[in-house]
Structure 1
Amino acid sequence: MAYLKDLLKQVTYICTRGTMDCKVTHICHDSRQVVRGSMFICLAGSREDGHDYLAQAIRKGAAVCVVSKHVWVEGDVTVIRVRNTSEAMAWIARNYYGAPAEAMQMIGITGTKGKTTTACMLYQMLKEAGVKCGLIGTLGIRRSDGLKKPGSNTTPDALVLQKELREMADAGCSCCVMEVSSQGLKHYRVEGITFAIGIYTNLSMDHIGPGEHRSFREYACCKKRLFERSRMICINADDKYHGFMTANLEAPVYTYGIEQPCDVKAEHIVYERSSRGLNVTYQTTGWIKDEIVLKMPGTANVYNSLAAMEAAYLLGISPETIRKTLRNVSVKGRIEEVRISDKFDVVIDYAHNAASLESLIKTLRQYQPKRLVLLFGCGGNRSPLRRFQMGETAGRLSDVTILTSDNPRYEKPEAILSDIEQGMKRTKGKYKIIPDRREAISYAISQAQEGDLIVVAGKGHEEYQEIEGHFYPMNEREMIENSI
C-alpha cells in the first residue's frame, strides 16, 4: 500500500478528477487483475488500448486510473492524466517497490545479437566469484540462490521488472545483470534505473516493421538510450556503429574487440573441433593478459566473452575466476551442443532472423564441417519479409536445408513454409520440406554423415510449440537424443 502522491514523484501529471488524498493497494495494467483499491494504468499498445477497458476496471473497484487521453468516467475514482502511460508506469512501479535497483549494481546489455550469451557469461562469472546476484533476460529470471522463473519478454514490463528487482534486493543480491531490448527501451521499461555498466554488443538490421520500430535509425536510437543512463560503458570497438552509440555521452567508454585497438583484445584465435566438441582458444592483451579456452564455439562467442570479461574486470572479478568460468560456461539454446555421436556434431541455437542465421552459419563454418545441415522454420504472425530473408540466407550458406514448423501461432505452417521456400528458390541451395518438427529432426539425424554439423535453429531455449494459442511441450534436446 502506498500514498498516491508518493507514487507520482518524478511524474508530470494533472489530476482531472477525484482526490490525491488516497491510498493505492495494487497496481496493474490488465483490467482482469483489478481489485478494490487498485491503480489501473491504461497502456496504449500496438494491438490493444487499455483506455478501452477503463469502465471495466472502475466497475471492479479501481480507485485510481492513469490515462493519456481525455476520458469520461463515473463513480468514485481519481483520474490522473499523463503524457505517456508507459513512461509514467515505470516511475510508479519504481516508487511502489521502493527503488530496488538503487540497492544493487545494475549491468545492462543491449545489441542485436549476443545479449543472452553475454548476460549469462557475466552472471556465471559473478556467481563463481561468490557474488549474490540476479539475471533477467530471454531465459527468464535467475538468482544465485537457485531461484528460477520463466519470463515472457527479454526485458519485462516495468511492473514485473521492479517487482523482481525488489525480490532480488530483499534476497541480498548486490548485483543484477539484465538484457535490455530495444523494445524495452522504446517503451520505457527501464525508466528510473541507473546502470553501473552498460554493455553494447553489435547492431544490425532487425525488428523493423509494424509493432516494432519504424526505421533502423529509431531502432539504433532506442538502443543508445541504455548508455545515456549508464555510469560506465563497455563497447565493441569492431562494430561500425560504436561511434554513434557513444557520441555526446559523458560516461567513460571502455572497449573490447578483435580487430581494432581496444582495452581488452583477443588475439591468436584457434577454432578446435574434436571428440570433446567445438571449442575456441585465444589470448587476451590489454587490461587482461591471459590464455582463454572457451567452451562455446565461434567468433561471435569470442566477442560475447570479451564483453563479459571486461565488465567483470570493472566489477573487480579476478582473471582466474573469469578464465575458469569461460572454460565451463554454457548457455541454453545458444550454440548449445547435444553430444550424441563422435562422428558428427549437433547444435541447437535460437537464431530466428536472417542476421542471426547468417552469423550462426558463418561461425560454424569455421569448424570446417563436411556438410552443414540446417534445420529451421519461422514463427507465425510475423513479417513475411523475415521468412524470405531467412530462406535466402539458408539456401546461400548451408549445404542442405530442412524446412520445418517453428511456432506457427495462428497461421498455417504450410503458408509459412511457402514463404520461406520463395527465399530458398532464389538460390541454388538444396532443401527438403518436412512440416512436422519432430519428424524433421529425426530425418536430419538419420541422414547424418561423418564430419557433418547439424544445426537445429529457431527455438533455442524454448521447450514448447505455440499453435493457435496453445503451448504444446516440445524439448528438442530429448528429440535429438531419442533419434539415435
Structure 2
Amino acid sequence: MTITLASAARLLTRHGLLREIIRDGVWTLDPSGLGDDIECSSITYDTRKVTEGALLCCKGRFKAEYLHGIDGQGLAAYVAETDFSAETKAVGLIVNDVRRAMSLLSAEFYGRPQDELTVIGITGTKGKTTTAYFTQAILNAASDGKCALFSSVDNCLDGHTYVESDLTTPESMDAFRMMREAADNGMKYLVMEVSSQAYKVERVYGLTFDVGAFLNISPDHISPIEHPTFEDYLYCKRQIVRNSRRLVLGADCAHADLIRQDAAAAEVPVTTFALRNDGADETAAQSADLVATRASADHSAYRMTAEGAALGTLSLSLDGDFNYANAAAALAIAQAAGVDVTDAKVLQAMEPVRIAGRMEQFHDPQSDTIAIVDYAHNYASVTALLDFVDERFGSRDPRITLVTGSAGNKAYDRRKEIVEAAQNRIANFIFTAEDTDTEPFIDICMEMQGYITNDAVTSTVISDRSTAIMNAIYDARAHKDRFNVLLIIGKGNERWIKDRNKHVPFEGDDHVVERMFA
C-alpha cells in the first residue's frame, strides 16, 4: 500500500488533472525530478493525521491555516486546487479537481482493491439499503460468507461484523481503504449504496461497478447544498449507468427510457425487475426479466420468476410489498453478478433478513396499538408506508398517528411533501426533532405544521423526540376504543440526533417504543 510522488504525478497527468508540480519554488510538469524513490507512507484528508511521509488531499473548505506547523509533522506532499507553498515546504501537486484526484490516488495507494472484488453499486430514491442487505445475503450464501457491505446503516468488511456507518457512500479515500481491508479479509464481493451526492462530489470517481442497479427515482435531496433541481438529482444518479459493466433497472422506474438510452450509449447490457400484484396479468409479468408476483391474499408471499422460469415462492421477514420489489432487484443483481438464482438457497437467504429501523413492528400489551419504526423520510417512502398500512390494516379502520420531522439545512421540499403525503390519510401529526446542522428543531416543526391544509387532522409540536414518541403512545392508549397505528419515521434505529453540527446521543426510536411497551 504505497505510492510515490512521481507515480502520483504521472497518474494525475494521465487523467488530465495535474496543473503543475511545485517544489522548492520551481513550477514544472516534469515528475522525473521527484524521483520514484520518494514513497508516501500514508494518505489522508485530515491534517491532524499527517505523519512522516504523508500525502495530504486538501478537499472541501480547506484553509491555509490548517497547514501551520505541518512541516514538523513530516508532510511529503499535498494535493490541492490552490498553491500553499507559502505555508509548507512540501511538494505541491496542483490539480483541477481535488476530489477526483483524491479518488484516483486513494485507489492506487491501496493497491486498487476494486480489481480483487466483484463490486456492486445500488442507487435509487428509496430501497437502496434493503436491496443492499438482500443482495449481501444472497452473495454470502453463494460464496460462504464472502460479501462485504457499505450501507447507510452499517458497513461490513468481513461478511458478518457490522459497524454503524457515517455516510450512505463513504468518502473515496475511506471507501478504498475499506475495500482493501475487505479484500485482505478474503471477501469476493462488495455491495455498496451509491447516493446522488457520491457522484455530485466525486466519491466514486474512477470506480467502475461490475453491476450497477438503478431502482427508482422521485424528487428528493433538492436544496442549495445538495441538488438545485430534480434534473440535477436525476443526472447525478444516472452517472452509475456509464460507470457500470452491467445495469439492473426497475422496469417501472420513472424516466426508464432515458436511463435505457444512457445504457445503450455506453453499450451497457440491461436486466430489468418488477413487482406485479396481479398474478393473472401475464402480459405485465413478462414486462421484466425478473418479476415478483403476489402469491397470497395477505401479501405474505410472492412468486419469483426469472425470464419466465419459476424460482419459487418467497416469504420475507421484512413486511411491505415494496420490500418484495427490493428482493426482486437483489435477485436480478445477483444473477447479473453470475450467481445461479435457481438455487433454492438464494431465496432462502433473503427470508430471515431484518434491518434495524426498517419496518420494525411493535405491539402494545396495554392497548390495541401497533407502532412501526421506519426510515421513511420523503414523499415516496411515506406514501409507500401508508399504502402498506392501508393494505394490511385498512379493514380495521385504524387511527393513524405520524411522528415525523425533517432534516435541517437541506431537502427543504421534504417538509411540505411529507405533510402532503400523509394529511388526508392520518388522524394526527406529531412533529419533532430530526437531524439538522444549524436550523432549530422547533422552526422546522412549525414550518411543517404550517403546511397542513386538512382541518380534520390534528397536530402537535414536541421538539424533544423521546417525549414526542411517548406522547404518541399515551395518546393511543387514551383512544382504546380504536385500533391505533403509530408511524415513527425518519431516524430508524439511529442512536444520535445531529444538532448544530454535533451528534447528540439519543435513545433511539425503537428503544423508546420497546421501553414503553415493555
Contact 2:373 2:489 in 1 (8 A): yes
1:379 maps to a residue whose letter is: A
Contact 2:139 2:334 in 1 (8 A): yes
Q: Deviations over 1:407-466 (max 9, x none)?
A: 355433222211111112466422223332222222222333554322110101311223
Percent identity between the two aligned chains: 28
1:85-96 equivalence runs, <5 A: 85-96=98-109
Structure 2 CA distance for aligned equivalents of residues 128 and 452 of structure 1:
39
Structure 1 CA distance for aligned equivalents of residues 460 and 64 of structure 2:
48
Residue 257 (structure 1) shift:
0.6
1:157 maps to a residue whose letter is: E
1:313 aligns with 2:313: no
Per the alignment, residue 305 of structure 2 pairs with 285
Contact 2:496 2:503 in 1 (8 A): no
Per the alignment, residue 348 of structure 1 pairs with 373
Structure 2 CA distance for aligned equivalents of residues 169 and 204 of structure 1:
35
Per the alignment, residue 68 of structure 1 pairs with 81
User: Secondary structure of 2:43's partner?
Assistant: strand
Structure 2 CA distance for aligned equivalents of residues 355 and 56 of structure 1:
50
Unaligned 5+ residue runs, structure 1?
273-278
After alignment, is 311-320 or 456-465 more displaced?
Answer: 311-320
User: Secondary structure of 1:267's partner?
Assistant: strand
Per the alignment, residue 127 of structure 1 pairs with 140
Structure 2 CA distance for aligned equivalents of residues 169 and 69 of structure 1:
35
Per the alignment, residue 84 of structure 1 pairs with 97
Per the alignment, residue 276 of structure 1 pairs with none
The one of 465, 468, 471 aligned to 1:437: 465
Structure 1 CA distance for aligned equivalents of residues 387 and 154 of structure 2:
28
Residue 400 (structure 1) shift:
2.1
The one of 142, 147, 152 aligned to 1:138: 152
Contact 1:396 1:427 in 2 (8 A): no
Residue 50 (structure 1) shift:
5.0
Structure 1 CA distance for aligned equivalents of residues 401 and 291 of structure 2:
32
Structure 2 CA distance for aligned equivalents of residues 360 and 207 of structure 1:
19
Structure 1 CA distance for aligned equivalents of residues 412 and 249 of structure 2:
33
1:23 maps to a residue whose letter is: E
Structure 2 CA distance for aligned equivalents of residues 59 and 183 of structure 1:
35
Structure 1 CA distance for aligned equivalents of residues 272 and 469 of structure 2:
41
The one of 502, 510, 513 aligned to 1:477: 510
Contact 2:492 2:510 in 1 (8 A): no
Per the alignment, residue 46 of structure 2 pairs with 30
The one of 216, 220, 233 aligned to 1:206: 220
Distance 1:283 1:440, change over 3 A: same
After alignment, is 255-264 or 283-292 more displaced?
Answer: 283-292
Per the alignment, residue 494 of structure 2 pairs with 462
Structure 2 CA distance for aligned equivalents of residues 164 and 388 of structure 1:
38
Let me know the Cα RMSD of the aligned residues. Answer: 2.3
Per the alignment, residue 262 of structure 1 pairs with 288
Residue 58 (structure 1) shift:
4.6
1:330 aligns with 2:354: yes
After alignment, is 434-443 or 177-186 more displaced?
Answer: 434-443
Per the alignment, residue 29 of structure 2 pairs with none
User: Secondary structure of 2:451's partner?
Assistant: helix
Residue 6 (structure 1) shift:
2.7
Contact 2:222 2:411 in 1 (8 A): no
Per the alignment, residue 253 of structure 1 pairs with 270
Distance 1:49 1:336, change over 3 A: same
User: Secondary structure of 2:392's partner?
Assistant: coil
Query: What TM-score do you get using the length of structure 2 for normalisation?
Result: 0.85
1:313 maps to a residue whose letter is: Q
Structure 1 CA distance for aligned equivalents of residues 195 and 378 of structure 2:
16
Residue 312 (structure 1) shift:
2.0
Contact 2:148 2:157 in 1 (8 A): yes
Residue 112 (structure 1) shift:
0.8
After alignment, is 9-18 or 299-308 more displaced?
Answer: 9-18
Contact 2:19 2:96 in 1 (8 A): no
Distance 1:444 1:309, change over 3 A: same
1:292 maps to a residue whose letter is: L
1:163-174 equivalence runs, <5 A: 163-174=177-188
Contact 2:158 2:182 in 1 (8 A): no
User: Secondary structure of 1:294's partner?
Assistant: coil
1:63 maps to a residue whose letter is: A
1:232-247 equivalence runs, <5 A: 232-247=246-261
Contact 1:271 1:297 in 2 (8 A): no
Structure 1 CA distance for aligned equivalents of residues 133 and 203 of structure 2:
21
Contact 1:115 1:179 in 2 (8 A): yes
Distance 1:477 1:17, change over 3 A: same
Residue 105 (structure 1) shift:
0.4
Structure 1 CA distance for aligned equivalents of residues 204 and 243 of structure 2:
10
1:283 maps to a residue whose letter is: R
Larger radius of gyration: 2
Contact 1:271 1:366 in 2 (8 A): no
Contact 2:159 2:187 in 1 (8 A): no
Contact 1:106 1:195 in 2 (8 A): yes
1:438 maps to a residue whose letter is: S
Query: What TM-score do you get using the length of structure 1 for normalisation?
Result: 0.91
Q: Deviations over 1:358-416 (max 9, x none)?
A: 23222332213422221111233335443233233332332322222223554332222
Q: Deviations over 1:134-186 (max 9, x none)?
A: 00010121144432222211100011000000000000000000001111122
1:366 maps to a residue whose letter is: E
1:31 maps to a residue whose letter is: T
Structure 1 CA distance for aligned equivalents of residues 72 and 154 of structure 2:
34
1:265 maps to a residue whose letter is: V
User: Secondary structure of 2:226's partner?
Assistant: coil
1:357 maps to a residue whose letter is: V
Distance 1:283 1:451, change over 3 A: farther
